[in-house]
């Protein structure tokens, strides 16, 4: 699964890294929320979707940044907290699962990050876990595959855009600590993922291990209130149990 991410750049740098997508004032207003070293579900993130490019001479569909809440809220949900049950969507069933299939078919998105976190259950008891930070080997930002939709709060009439991250089988590096990993897309595949192809199933596969890196970090990452750069500091494994 994928339950935490890190975005260690400021928002301007992230927007520049994916300058093929336009952005609006709603995204600009979120600048004070980044960097985000310990990003958890329930928060808003800048995602890239296919939407109307409004400053074009003739409006057309194109890649656009939009702020969305992490935690996919099903259309039938009575409360937005339902999204915490659906932070991830398994690649193996996303095309047929009644909660996700419509979004997968026509509302796919890119989630730019600088990395994510995973926990290794050392003894299989769920009690002693080693957290790891994962990133690209060259430290460049990259995109996770996501799906999204708009949910209307019947009580307030507010529309909430929410998303879930698609996960797949792990690559050889990730398999050392967990049996799942987020789908990471190559840049040359961004267009297909955002496009109108109904089922780009071949893109939902493990990213090459040799292009990634992983290191142990302190267990304080488990509390999302710890949101400082030292979250990403490498620590020896023995320190985690002191």
Residue 218: both structure tokens together? 């302190």
Per-residue pLDDT, 126:
62
From residue 215, give the alpha-carbon distance in Å to each of 40, 119, 125.
19, 11, 22
Which pLDDT score, from 0 to 100, does residue 60 have?
A: 75
Q: Would you call 30 helix, strand, or coil by DSSP?
A: coil
Sheet hosting strand 5-7, strand order edge to edge:
36-39, 5-7, 115-121, 129-136, 212-216
Q: Which residue has the tokens 């060259």?
A: 138
User: Three-state DSSP class for 36?
Assistant: strand
Tokens of 222: 């488990």
Name all contacts of 78-81 with Cβ < 8 Å and 24+ positions apart.
78/154, 80/151, 80/153, 80/160, 80/162
- Whether 86 contacts 71, CB under 8 Å: yes
- Model confidence over 68-118: pLDDT tens digits? 999 999 999 999 999 999 999 999 999 999 999 999 999 999 999 999 999
Phi-psi sector, 126: left (phi>0), alpha (psi -120 to 50), beta? left
* Token reading at 194: 């955002």
pLDDT of residue 124: 65
> E strands within 42-102?
44-53, 60-70, 88-90
Query: What's the pTM value of the predicted model, to 2 decimals?
Result: 0.94
The DSSP H or E segment spanning 227 is none
**Which portions of the chain are predicted below pLDDT 50?**
240, 242
Q: What pLDDT shows up at residue 240?
A: 47
**What tokens appear for 148 in the block?**
């999204």
pLDDT of residue 48: 98
Q: Which domains does the chain have, with CATH numbers?
A: 5-241 (3.90.1680.10)
Q: Which residue has the tokens 């909430």?
A: 160
């Amino acid at each position: 699964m994928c339950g935490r991410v890190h975005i260690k750049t400021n928002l301007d740098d992230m927007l520049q890294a994916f300058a093929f997508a336009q952005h609006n004032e709603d995204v600009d207003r979120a600048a004070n929320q980044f960097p985000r070293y310990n990003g958890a579900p329930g928060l808003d993130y800048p995602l890239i979707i296919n939407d109307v490019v409004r400053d074009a001479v003739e409006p057309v569909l194109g890649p656009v940044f939009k702020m969305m809440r992490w935690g996919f809220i099903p259309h039938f949900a009575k409360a937005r907290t339902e999204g915490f049950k659906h932070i991830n969507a398994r690649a193996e069933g996303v095309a047929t699962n009644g909660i996700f299939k419509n979004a997968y078919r026509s509302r796919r998105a890119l989630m730019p990050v600088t990395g994510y976190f995973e926990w290794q259950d050392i003894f299989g008891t769920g009690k002693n876990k080693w957290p790891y930070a994962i990133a690209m080997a060259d430290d460049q930002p990259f995109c996770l595959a996501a799906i999204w939709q708009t949910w209307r709060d019947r009580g307030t009439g507010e529309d909430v855009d929410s998303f879930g991250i698609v996960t797949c089988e792990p690559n050889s590096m990730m398999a050392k600590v967990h049996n799942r990993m987020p789908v990471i897309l190559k840049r040359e595949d961004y267009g297909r993922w955002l496009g109108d192809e109904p089922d780009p199933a071949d893109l939902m596969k493990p990213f090459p291990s040799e292009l990634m890196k992983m290191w142990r970090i302190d267990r304080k990452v488990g509390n999302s209130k710890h949101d400082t750069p030292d979250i990403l500091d490498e620590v020896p494994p023995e320190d985690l149990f002191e």
